[in-house]
Chains A and B, each alone.
Chain A
Amino acid sequence: MNGSIFSGLKILDFGAAATVPLALAWIADYGAEVIKVETHLRPDISRAGGPFYEARMGEIDHAGWQEWLNPSKYSITLNLGKPAGKEIVRRLITQWQPDILAESFRPGVMKRFGLDYGEVKNLKPDIIYWSSCLEGQYGPHCQRLGYGPVSTNLSGVSYLSGWPDRPPCGAPMAYGDFASTGTGIIALISALIRRRKTGRGVHIDQSQYEVNVHVLAGVMMEYMINGRIMKRNGNGHPSAAPHGVYPCSGEDRWVAIAVLSEADWNGFCRVLGQPDWTRSEKFNTLAGRKAHEDELDRLVGLWTVSKTAEEIEALMQESGVAANVVETGKDIYEDRQLAHYGHFRRIDHPIMGTINSEWPPFKFSKTTDTHKRAPLLGEHNHFVLSDILEMSEDEISDLYAEGVITTDADLPGAS
């Protein structure tokens, strides 16, 4: 394809929603060829849900999450319920010779398609096969159905989010998906490095629940060893004050400020103009500030509320204190740091015109990305069948006629 990191690498993507697709997008962004296998019969939540351009809710071609989750890929639409659909996948495995196959179905579904690790390994002995699901491939709860919100709640993240005087409010949406995106990539690249030396593939069994618990290891040790259940604390920090989110002028505008040391405290007081209360007995020591943290936060809030969040971020940072606007969606697209990195860039889209696409979160000194726009649903059906599998036009027409290749007519609700 070109000289990027993964040029020549081939991946079959059976992932749904976010975890697996995003991981493979970030590999595709550096040169790998990724074919995403989809279907109109059960469109991926990234096409059927989320935000839609022009607020055209539910219109597949206006789905907003594609440039986030599936850039740089090919898309084919197969009905895996039909034997000929499964046969196309088997031919892709034997003829196209993918290096990686990734899937995020419930355990057992790929076996029903005749595409579990054992079967695929027979066709391609050194395949690197990544299975990612909520609770892993085996165990008493492995059939629990789940998208990211389930792993977020199951793994303790929600319990830790919110205010100590209220029930857990939950980390938003599919927070629990994205540590698995990252660790999934790590497993794949490690396996590729080993395969270069040993010629051997591997089956990766990733439980997204276990990934999140793994990340929260310190919380688990606190319970195992000290018998203490760590709880949510708003924006508190065990050894810092002020440490919080404060109201600013404007509607629902907030700034985060973290005073982590004595030097920070001095810098913070300089910005406030050294009001008397900062020198009082109550607040001139960390122990005092922790003991009177509610009152402290109120006093800080009285100062912040008349200024803009941007103003406070700048004033605090000039004085050596960590502060950042609590950024909203709008702020993210106006963020000058993200702009510097070109995290979002304008691209041409065949239906939406000029829109933003999202780039991966790395910068390499010697290798560049190969990022391209995300595919429309089934955009590469003909390319895959004709150019990769070298099928004749007759064969391809038959596949359409038999519903093996799904089309817009197969969308739920289509007449």
Chain B
Amino acid sequence: MIAETMLDGYRVLDLTEGGYLLGGQILGDLGADVIKIETPGGSPSRDRGPFYKDIPHREKSLFWFAYNRNKRGVTLNLETGDGRRLFEKLVETADIVMESFPPGHMDKLGLGYARLVSIKPDIIVTSITPYGQEGPKSLYKESELTTWASAMIHSITGDPDRAPAWNSYPSAGLMGGIQGVIGSLYALFHREITGEGQKVDVPVQQYLLQFTTGAHWFWECMKMNFPRMGRYMTAGFLKVASIRPCKDGFVHWALAGGAAAGFSDSTARLVKWMDEEGMAPDWLKKIDWVGFGGDVVQMTQEELDRIQEPFDAFLMTKTTTEFSEETARRGIMGCPVSNSRDICSDHHLEAREFWEPVRHPELGETLSYCGPFAKFSEAPMKIFRRAPLIGEHNREIYEGELGVSREEMLLFKQAGVI
């Protein structure tokens, strides 16, 4: 029989919060049965904005909606003995536990790896934290901002005349969620072959460091601290603008040449477009863009800036939309500097049926969601359900699957266990 999704039949218990929630959602998109475990009253991540129609309510957090689809939800107080017993029953049925507590917290609850293994010998326990489970900074107080700072990406983002800036969104956590899924799947693949489960330590700092595009390697190779360049990027030892004004906004295009695939072709195609509109001076048309990659190392900044003047003049005659359509049509490395409105109205995404409608019966509305992160020719990822309401699947899971009696459910509810 052909499985309808990639991860049919695997169960994941999601104890993470914040951006890490994206991890469980990705496993859900892939078809795993993901159960989000929240504290009674609801996860603190439900307090994160933005909110549906600006109504600050725990059932209306768009942050919650965005990163918890394809999960079922139960409430459970792990600080109580009864709560821990219910959790252990769930662990018996699970393949992966993902958690993001401070290191040692699961042990303090009596739910450390050793305990979980005694319940489910091949369980995989994945712990996602900014610095990892061990080492001198593992017990540091965490935040999105400081994780960002620990990974160098902060120091190279922003205008050089001001403080480093972040990207205004909890991206460190979201990337940590992706990283947690990688670690979990490595362990799952290993278990499929050997039958052996294990503990997976996921230090977000180390993945986030990659997002600098290896800027840290400038120190390793050349003892150079990669600078904050604002709207510019490097070209040899010089700089070229990466974000440039156009007729009605900003576009991304950076002058580049050289032998590596794409750069010289892209620049030559842009010059051809400019020439078609009579805006490419003869000297510009004569430049060999493959050789330019080497030449730029010998140039002065003034020379490099002068070469860019006709390009900047040309861009000022184009709107972001015109630039976007033509760069795509001609195979040029350029695009608009998009905001969320541009993206939500992009006809390319529409043609790829990226957005998916998801029904929210309690809101009386169907909302548009971002589609999965890739398209598969078989066993595609799908949106099976919206994010869970608080305790929405308590009965289904506790009574229906674990055989908890109605009497116990009443007891647990009143005792603050669920």
Residues in A whose Cβ lies below 8 Å from that of B417: none
User: Nearest Cβ in chain B — how far from A92, in angstroms?
Assistant: 21
**Interface of A (DSSP majority class):** mixed
Is the beta-carbon distance between A256 and B148 smaller than 8 angstroms?
yes
In the complex formed, the residue of B with least CB distance to A137 is B375
Residues in A whose Cβ lies below 8 Å from that of B136: 336-337, 340
Partner of B171, one of A41, A44, A215: A215
User: Nearest Cβ in chain A — how far from B304, in angstroms?
Assistant: 15
| Bound form: Cα–Cα A44–B352 in Å | 29
The answer to whether B13 has its CB under 8 Å from any CB of chain A is no
Is the beta-carbon distance between B219 and A329 smaller than 8 angstroms?
yes
Partner of A256, one of B154, B182, B186, B374: B154
Is the beta-carbon distance between B183 and A362 smaller than 8 angstroms?
yes
The answer to whether A323 has its CB under 8 Å from any CB of chain B is yes
In the complex formed, the residue of B with least CB distance to A49 is B260
| Bound form: Cα–Cα A157–B162 in Å | 19
Is the beta-carbon distance between A190 and B6 smaller than 8 angstroms?
yes
Residues in B whose Cβ lies below 8 Å from that of A152: 252
- The residues in A between 230 and 282 inclusive whose CB is less than 8 angstroms from any CB of B are 230-239, 243-247, 254-258, 260, 264
User: Nearest Cβ in chain A — how far from B149, in angstroms?
Assistant: 4
Is the beta-carbon distance between B335 and A144 smaller than 8 angstroms?
yes
The answer to whether A350 has its CB under 8 Å from any CB of chain B is no
Is the beta-carbon distance between A362 and B131 smaller than 8 angstroms?
no
In the complex formed, the residue of A with least CB distance to B61 is A218
The answer to whether B412 has its CB under 8 Å from any CB of chain A is no
- Given A154-B252, A330-B219, are A322 and B140 neighbors across the interface (CB < 8 Å)? yes
In the complex formed, the residue of A with least CB distance to B138 is A337
Partner of B333, one of A43, A146, A173, A364: A146
- The residues in A between 203 and 228 inclusive whose CB is less than 8 angstroms from any CB of B are 203-207, 210-211, 213-226, 228
In the complex formed, the residue of B with least CB distance to A117 is B377
Is the beta-carbon distance between B135 and A171 smaller than 8 angstroms?
no
Residues in B whose Cβ lies below 8 Å from that of A325: 149-150
User: Nearest Cβ in chain A — how far from B337, in angstroms?
Assistant: 5
Partner of A328, one of B137, B155, B211: B155
The answer to whether A288 has its CB under 8 Å from any CB of chain B is no
Residues in B whose Cβ lies below 8 Å from that of A157: 167
Is the beta-carbon distance between B186 and A49 smaller than 8 angstroms?
no
| Bound form: Cα–Cα A231–B367 in Å | 22
Which of B132, B149, B209, B222 has the most chain A CB atoms closer than 10 A to its own CB? B149
- The residues in A between 333 and 365 inclusive whose CB is less than 8 angstroms from any CB of B are 333, 335-338, 340-341, 343-344, 355-356, 360-365
- Given A146-B333, A194-B379, A256-B148, are A172 and B168 neighbors across the interface (CB < 8 Å)? no
| Bound form: Cα–Cα A222–B63 in Å | 9
Residues in B whose Cβ lies below 8 Å from that of A258: 143-146
Is the beta-carbon distance between A158 and B252 smaller than 8 angstroms?
yes
Residues in A whose Cβ lies below 8 Å from that of B205: 337-338, 361
Which of B196, B332, B373, B375 has the most chain A CB atoms closer than 10 A to its own CB? B373
- The residues in B between 103 and 152 inclusive whose CB is less than 8 angstroms from any CB of A are 113, 131-138, 140-152
Interface hit among A161-169, A372-380, A382-390: A161-169
Please report the total number of B residues contacting A with Cβ < 8 Å. 161
Partner of A210, one of B135, B156, B164, B349: B349
Residues in A whose Cβ lies below 8 Å from that of B164: 235, 245, 254, 326
Partner of A225, one of B52, B293, B294, B347: B52
| Bound form: Cα–Cα A170–B1 in Å | 48
Partner of A190, one of B7, B236, B260, B331: B7
In the complex formed, the residue of A with least CB distance to B141 is A322
User: Nearest Cβ in chain B — how far from A196, in angstroms?
Assistant: 6
| Bound form: Cα–Cα A43–B265 in Å | 14
Is the beta-carbon distance between A361 and B338 smaller than 8 angstroms?
no
The answer to whether A45 has its CB under 8 Å from any CB of chain B is yes
The answer to whether B175 has its CB under 8 Å from any CB of chain A is yes
Is the beta-carbon distance between B261 and A42 smaller than 8 angstroms?
yes
- Can you list, as one digit per residue, whether each of B274-313 has a CB less than 8 Å from chain A (1) or not (0)? 0000000000000000110110010000000000000000
The answer to whether A72 has its CB under 8 Å from any CB of chain B is no
The answer to whether B328 has its CB under 8 Å from any CB of chain A is yes
User: Nearest Cβ in chain A — how far from B219, in angstroms?
Assistant: 3
The answer to whether A404 has its CB under 8 Å from any CB of chain B is no
Is the beta-carbon distance between A326 and B154 smaller than 8 angstroms?
yes
| Bound form: Cα–Cα A257–B335 in Å | 35
Partner of A160, one of B167, B175, B290, B351: B167
The answer to whether A178 has its CB under 8 Å from any CB of chain B is yes
Residues in B whose Cβ lies below 8 Å from that of A24: none
- Given A197-B3, A340-B135, are A172 and B212 neighbors across the interface (CB < 8 Å)? yes
Residues in B whose Cβ lies below 8 Å from that of A215: 22, 171, 174-175, 178
The answer to whether B389 has its CB under 8 Å from any CB of chain A is no
Residues in A whose Cβ lies below 8 Å from that of B243: 153, 158, 167-170
The answer to whether A16 has its CB under 8 Å from any CB of chain B is yes
Is the beta-carbon distance between A186 and B144 smaller than 8 angstroms?
no
| Bound form: Cα–Cα A210–B350 in Å | 11
User: Nearest Cβ in chain A — how far from B139, in angstroms?
Assistant: 9
Is the beta-carbon distance between A228 and B190 smaller than 8 angstroms?
no
Is the beta-carbon distance between A160 and B168 smaller than 8 angstroms?
yes
The answer to whether A115 has its CB under 8 Å from any CB of chain B is no
The answer to whether B101 has its CB under 8 Å from any CB of chain A is no
Please list the 6 inter-chain residue pairs (A to B) with the smallest Cβ-Cβ separation, ordered nearest first.
Answer: A329-B219, A361-B206, A340-B135, A258-B143, A153-B252, A256-B149
What would be 11 A-B contacts, judged by CB atoms less than 8 Å apart? A65-B217, A140-B351, A169-B158, A182-B182, A193-B185, A204-B375, A205-B376, A205-B377, A217-B67, A217-B370, A329-B226
